[in-house]
Amino acid sequence: MIDYDPFAYQLHADPYPTYRRMRDEAPAHYSPEHGFWSLSRYADVRRANKDPAAFSSEGGVVVEDISFALPMIVGMDEPDHGRLRDLVKRRWTKRRILELEKPIRELARGFLDGFAGRGRADVMAELAGRLPMAVICELLSVPARDREYLLDRADTLVLREDRVNAVPEQSREGFRDIYAYFDKLVAERSGAPGDDLLGELISAERDGVISHDELLGFCFLLIVAGNETTMKLIGNLVYYLDEHADQRARLVADPSGIPNAIEEGLRYDLPVQLTARTLTRDVELHGQRMRAGEKVVLLLASANRDERQFRDPDRFDVTRDASGHLGFGIGLHFCLGASLARLEARIALEELLARLPDYRVDREGAHRVHAASVRGFATLPVEFSPA
């Protein structure tokens, strides 16, 4: 019997052997302990993501019950999903994102300046965590003095207890604090919204396009999804490029390979391990009947390691053609911030490898986050020749 429990600390060390067993032995796996199904094969996960009529997001996209949270676009089906996406999608075009390259690079270099001369640093605390948060806060015009506070609050949101399917009080407090912060910021801006992203959202509320709760939910999502997932992506890449020193040397010699390395990093060890859906009708798959109203976990990370789709999937190869990976989802809920995440990760790696090409990860000091949906490092100390 396969013991798949996304809340189990033991699983978080390396979930991929469990995923392989699930793909081979129970591709439609039911957890009687937690009451949800899990799909682990690439074809099944892709198909479910592209069928929002049967696999609805309305019941929540995580395995925990977060019904206390304010409405967010990731937890909406049409027409509400399209209404919110249309409101902001022009801000996330590839052209507009590329216009951010210069200020993002200046931020990355500034963070590196802070520790490059020391010979040791925690990549998560001093680069990977700070860069995405700074960028999102710039987009939302959050005052610089408040950014460390929001980063601290965001870090509490993914904390979970061992084998407990519930959001602990510390995380709930983080939700409340972030809502309260943006409620106050919106009130301060309401007299003169401006033409930045937050100003557009405030104007949309004034025009009746979105509700106040939807506005706060959108700000919350940007702070969390725009920060947490990208920081874990950067940290994972730093870790695996140290583990595979020959591939890091290839990128140091030829940085043009970094964008492809990012796609392989997304395929190999995805920061967002899963997303959840709720069935609107009965679905039969692999001899199992999954019934309407039941929750189904779509194991994106397992799909990206499915040997039915990717040859030699457990090998990290920065030259691999990783196209087709599900790192940013697919279909209706394809990640709005995909271009921004790719840009931030590329700049972070370009600057880090140019400045500190000989860094070494202190594996004894590296610790992973214990979270059901997110995989990555809480701390990632590295040592290097001071630059």
Return the pLDDT at 264. 98
* Radius of gyration, CA atoms only, the chain: 20
What is residue 284's predicted lDDT score, i.e. its pLDDT?
A: 98
Query: Residues 30, 1: contact at Cβ < 8 Å?
Result: no
- What local confidence, expressed as pLDDT, does residue 127 receive? 98
Calpha distance 312→320 (Å, rounded) = 10
C-alpha closest to that of 108 among 256, 234, 247: 234
Secondary structure (DSSP) of 234-287: HHHHHHHHHHTHHHHHHHHH-GGGHHHHHHHHHHHS-SB--EEEEESS-EEETT
CB 278 within 8 A of CB 294: yes
Q: CATH code for 9-382?
A: 1.10.630.10
SS3 label, residue 100: coil
Residue 237: the pLDDT is: 98
> What integer pLDDT is reported at residue 142 of this predicted model?
94
Q: How far apart are CA 137 and CA 40, in angstroms?
A: 35
Residue 99 corresponds to which amino acid? E
Q: How far is residue 223's CA from residue 60's CA, in Å, rounded to a whole number?
A: 18
Would you state the pLDDT for residue 291? 98
Name 209's bridge partners: none
Are the CB atoms for 264 and 2 separated by under 8 Å?
Answer: no
User: What pLDDT does 177 receive?
Assistant: 97
First to last CA, the chain: 52
SS (H, E, C) 180-241: HHHHHHHHHHCCCCCCCHHHHHHHHHHCCCCCHHHHHHHHHHHHHHHHHHHHHHHHHHHHHH
Give the per-residue pLDDT at 95: 85
- DSSP characters over 323-335: TT--TT--GGG--
Angle formed by the axes of helices 147-155 and 212-243, to 10°? 80
pLDDT at 233: 98
Longest CA span, the chain? 60
Residue spans per domain, the chain: 9-382
Q: Which residues of the chain have pLDDT under 50?
A: none
Sorted by sequence, the CB contacts under 8 Å of residue 188 that are 6+ apart come out as none
